Chains A and B, each alone.
Chain A
């Protein structure tokens, strides 16, 4: 690497590194292709049919993945707010409870939690996960269990993220609000949390991006979300044993979901940046940078 031409305050990864990475990737692919000839017959119609949602179960799988993710993340955020307030509480009992929660749920694998909360509670009859019937709709117990476990697990991570956000707000804000006669709860809701949101939202977006992909773990409970749908397609019928086309299509669909989310997240962040002290309205990373995680030849490094 050459020494930088300009002294920049913060150096993003150099384009040279991106090029090296891309070359390594191409090298790996070529090395992989040079193996023995395979009897595998590509059927690209399977890819196109499934990626456009024309295989049975794919639209339903997409829908379930998104709804389960959104609900689990909502539960996670709500639990995270209470967890964070608990961790910052003056009363020792609350601190102790919140610490125990974070410790237990961050310290054990989600897959283990899923098995424990569904089958563990089922066989012991501690909780039978009955189907929930709301009017004409039935929510299967297994989906409730999945959302529960994903949400409670997520809450432990959100606790730490929200706690960091609250700490980042100047304690003077709370003091000023209280001196104006606001109660603790009101000051938290009206003054501190809105300011903390600016710090919370970027990692929250990260968490939701993860959540969209973590729902694949529900395969262990046979919940027919997007991944299970593709597993089923791979196991049965005319699409069977075409893992190359099928899982490439699944990857594309997940990529579409996370890309859409990136766009939404960028929009939310720009909204929150408005009116912030010293906030620049549109100085966030561009969509490309957000997706790639680095900048290619950005203006900071100078054009060469």
Chain B
């Protein structure tokens, strides 16, 4: 009996150790009190940059209890990396235009932002399952997604193809993709677009190839967006398909390895997702976003990351669940 008790004590002790680690903001497993406002870490080890402005003294709106996971925090889920909208700096802190927009919204609502790294194709599940307050993760507003969550328009982007430097496969127009292998992240509108699923039912890129009597496109889907680009880097796929800002960022950062194919397809709105049950939280987030657009903070953030071509107006941000 005493032995099993000891074992129990041992495992409890070990559980404490895990907790200590996950609660620590720095790389070293030091114990950090949960209440500390500075640099709170999350399940995915992402930390809010210490430079985050302190929560505003006069919050825009008060959010009723039960609509936030923690009373003083805003848990922002994002699938990192997807630069320049969300990525890690060299210290391992999450940065990017999406991240900063989210942090500013939290600050204006008088809340402490906490960024949680997530897997894209289960990110809505994490929100509806009660693990995120909002999602800012370059999510296009689609008819399937707005069935499950409310989406506030905050950005817009086209979709571009990245190819190996020098474009060895000669991908310049849409039909050049036929018979080629394309890599994209699982659960994205890019994957939908190639396959003709979701909002692209009946107008997928593969269907267009077959209609033109050409070979179909082979789509390879990856759990992490950076792995889809890794597949291009290693020659597993002929092109990588992502949002235009992301495609542009990678080609600028690694011009020796990647190039834009020059082929960009339809511009679509991206939205901040909030659970449909949390109406007050949703309205407060929307109000904070519109305030940021009107006072110029929004554009300053976008410019910092070269995302300003995707800026939207306050009028569009006001139209909840606007798909196009």
The residues of A with any CB-CB pair to B shorter than 8 Å are 39-41, 53, 55-61, 63-64, 67-68, 70-71, 74-75, 78, 115, 119, 122-123, 125, 128-129, 131-143, 147, 189, 219-224, 228-229, 231-232, 234-238, 240-241, 243
A221 to B118, CA, bound (A): 7
Contacts of A39 in B (CB 8 A): 165, 256-257
Confirm or deny: B233 has a beta carbon within 8 angstroms of a beta carbon on chain A: yes
B129 CB to nearest chain A CB (Å): 3
Most chain B C-beta atoms within 10 Å of own C-beta, residue among A58, A119, A141, A238: A119
B267 / chain A contacts, CB cutoff of 8 Å: none
Q: Are the CB atoms of B90 and A139 closer together than 8 Å?
A: no
With the chains together, A131 CA to B3 CA distance in Å? 29
A-B contacts, 24 of them at CB < 8 A, read: A41-B256, A57-B27, A57-B45, A60-B24, A67-B17, A68-B18, A119-B129, A123-B129, A128-B130, A137-B19, A138-B22, A138-B34, A141-B131, A143-B18, A189-B3, A221-B119, A222-B43, A222-B118, A224-B46, A231-B227, A234-B230, A235-B80, A237-B90, A240-B254
Residues of A within 8 A of B58 (CB): none
Q: Which of B138-146, B206-214, B218-226 contacts A (4 or more CB under 8 A)?
A: B218-226
A contacts with B: majority SS = helix
Given A119-B129, A137-B16, A138-B23, are A224 and B45 neighbors across the interface (CB < 8 Å)? Answer: yes
Determine how close the nearest CB of chain B comes to the CB of A41; give it in whole angstroms. 7
Q: Could you say which of A55, A67, A133, A136 contacts B21, with CB atoms under 8 Å apart?
A: A67
* Chain B residues packing against A (C-beta within 8 Å): 3, 7, 10-11, 14-24, 27-29, 31-34, 42-46, 80-81, 83, 87-92, 117-119, 122, 125-126, 128-131, 165, 223-227, 229-230, 233-234, 253-254, 256-257
- Roughly how many angstroms separate A58 CA and B27 CA in the complex, as a whole number? 7
Tell me the nearest residue of chain B to A221, going by C-beta: B119
Collect the chain A residues with CB atoms within 8 Å of residue B131's CB.
Answer: 122, 129, 141-142
| Chain B residue with the shortest CB-CB distance to A81 | B4
Q: Tell me if B81 and A63 are in contact (CB < 8 A).
A: no
Q: In this complex, what residue of B is CB-closest to A119?
A: B125
Using known A-B contacts A39-B165, A119-B125, A140-B42, determine if residue A243 contacts B230 with beta carbons closer than 8 Å: yes
The B contact surface, by secondary structure, is: loop
- In the bound complex, how far is the Cα of B90 from the Cα of A11, in angstroms? 53
Q: Which 4 A-B pairs have the closest CB atoms?
A: A56-B92, A122-B129, A235-B226, A224-B45
Report chain A residues within 8 Å CB of B45: 57, 60-61, 64, 224, 228-229
Assuming A71-B11, A135-B16, A243-B230, what are 15 further A-B pairs, CB within 8 angstroms? A53-B27, A67-B14, A67-B18, A74-B7, A119-B122, A119-B125, A122-B131, A138-B19, A139-B15, A143-B43, A189-B3, A223-B43, A232-B81, A236-B89, A240-B81
Q: Which residue of A lies closest to B234 (CB)?
A: A243
Nearest Cβ distance between residue B131 and chain A, in whole angstroms?
7
Interchain CB contact under 8 A, A136 and B31: yes
Bound-state Cα–Cα, A234 to B83, Å? 13
State in angstroms the CA–CA spacing of A239 and B249 once bound together: 15
Taken together as a complex, chains A and B put the C-alpha atoms of A115 and B122 apart, in Å, by: 10
Are A59 and B29 in contact, CB atoms less than 8 angstroms apart? yes
* Contact call A238/B90, Cβ cutoff below 8 A: yes
Contact A137 B43 (CB under 8 A): no
In the complex with contacts A67-B14, A67-B17, A71-B14, A220-B223 CB distance below 8 A: yes
Among B27, B118, B229, B230, contact of A56 (Cβ-Cβ < 8 Å): B27
Which residues of chain A come closer than 8 Å to B80, judged between CB atoms?
Answer: 232, 235-236
* Residues of chain A contacted by B20 (CB below 8 angstroms): 137
